């Protein structure tokens, strides 16, 4: 089986605001960097064979922390534009809302600087992507990063690779759903939105009838059926005891040149934690506007 772990990025400075932030390229805040380090430490004994990441700062920095904690020889770290979050077009950086003014078209609301959450899979902001557009791009991401490894393993008879894809909330939900659709056996539909910052979801993929050490012969025009299973969803034990730094430090943009500021202000890093109630990463921006409905329903 090929194991794919999908990781959402750490908390960004835009996660602390009520704005649309898809391709808007905000960095991790200090708390988000601590989350990323905690993620890396939790995977230090899990050998990854490759890491793919969105090139947006919040995801790539998270992927770097995951990569740096890996044992030698460390896996390759590659970026893919297909792993970026949904693009919200002209709404990027604008405040989002669930409220829709009765009797007004979306164009009229846009003119009044009102940027409501989409209610259909085809609706999108000008110059942006719809949910259907995102799903199509996620499929391209799977074909780029995941499926070549599946077919390579089936043809060689050598399985067991474990890769990580570090991306964004909505994009991950479409990536996982896209893999589940490839399963040869019907599975109940499920929504994979709602990942906390640096939480992860895992999928294992195999080829029907494939066995370790037994290569399969097939052509690209006649691919064998897949067996796809979601084994973990929204795993976040590594951040449940992580304490946000006080005095506003945790919410500030992370500056790698000021590593000692945490110690100076007594904030501590990912390894300097105390037992508290689990801290739930804010779900109010980028993909989070749509995800927020999950917590309200």
- Would you list which residues are annotated within the binding site? 8-15, 58
Eight-class DSSP state of 77: E
How many C-beta neighbours within 10 Å does residue 68 have? 13
210: which residues sit within 8 A by CB, 6+ positions away?
153, 154, 157, 159, 216, 224
**Is 85 assigned a catalytic role?**
yes
What is the DSSP annotation of 213-273?
TB-----TTSPPPEEEEEEEEEE-GGGTTPPPPTTTTTTSBP-GGGTTHHHHTT---TTS-
Catalytic residue among 31, 37, 67, 85: 85
Q: Count how many residues are written for the chain.
A: 297
Catalytic residue among 9, 67, 168, 238: 9
Annotated binding site for substrate: 8-15, 58
Q: What are phi and psi of 41, to 5 degrees?
A: -60, -35
Residues noted as catalytic: 9, 85
């Amino acid at each position: 089986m090929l194991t794919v772990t999908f990781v959402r990025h750490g908390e960004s400075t835009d996660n602390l605001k009520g704005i649309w932030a898809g391709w808007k390229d905000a960095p991790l805040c200090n708390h988000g960097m601590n989350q990323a380090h905690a993620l890396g430490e939790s995977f230090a004994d899990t050998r990854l064979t490759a890491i793919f990441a969105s090139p947006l700062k919040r995801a790539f920095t998270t992927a770097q922390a995951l990569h740096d904690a890996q044992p030698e020889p460390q896996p390759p770290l590659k970026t893919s534009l297909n792993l970026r979050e949904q693009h919200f077009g002209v709404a990027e950086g604008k405040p989002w809302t669930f409220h829709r003014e009765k009797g007004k078209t979306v164009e009229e609301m846009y003119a009044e600087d009102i940027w409501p959450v989409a209610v259909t899979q085809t609706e999108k902001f000008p110059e942006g992507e719809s949910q259907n557009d995102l799903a199509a791009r996620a499929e391209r991401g799977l074909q780029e990063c995941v499926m070549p490894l599946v077919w390579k393993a089936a043809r060689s008879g050598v399985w067991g690779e474990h890769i990580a894809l570090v991306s964004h909330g909505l994009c991950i939900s479409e990536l996982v759903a896209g893999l589940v659709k490839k399963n040869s056996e019907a599975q109940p539909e499920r929504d994979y939105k709602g990942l906390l910052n640096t939480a992860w979801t895992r999928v294992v993929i195999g080829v029907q009838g494939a066995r370790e050490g037994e290569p399969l012969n097939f052509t690209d025009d006649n691919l064998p059926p897949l067996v796809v299973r979601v084994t973990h969803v929204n795993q976040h034990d590594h951040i449940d005891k992580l304490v946000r730094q006080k005095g506003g430090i945790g919410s500030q943009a992370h500056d790698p040149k000021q590593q000692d500021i945490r110690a100076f202000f007594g904030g501590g890093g990912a390894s300097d934690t105390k037992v508290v109630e689990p801290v739930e990463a804010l779900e109010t921006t980028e993909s989070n506007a749509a995800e927020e409905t999950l917590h309200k329903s």
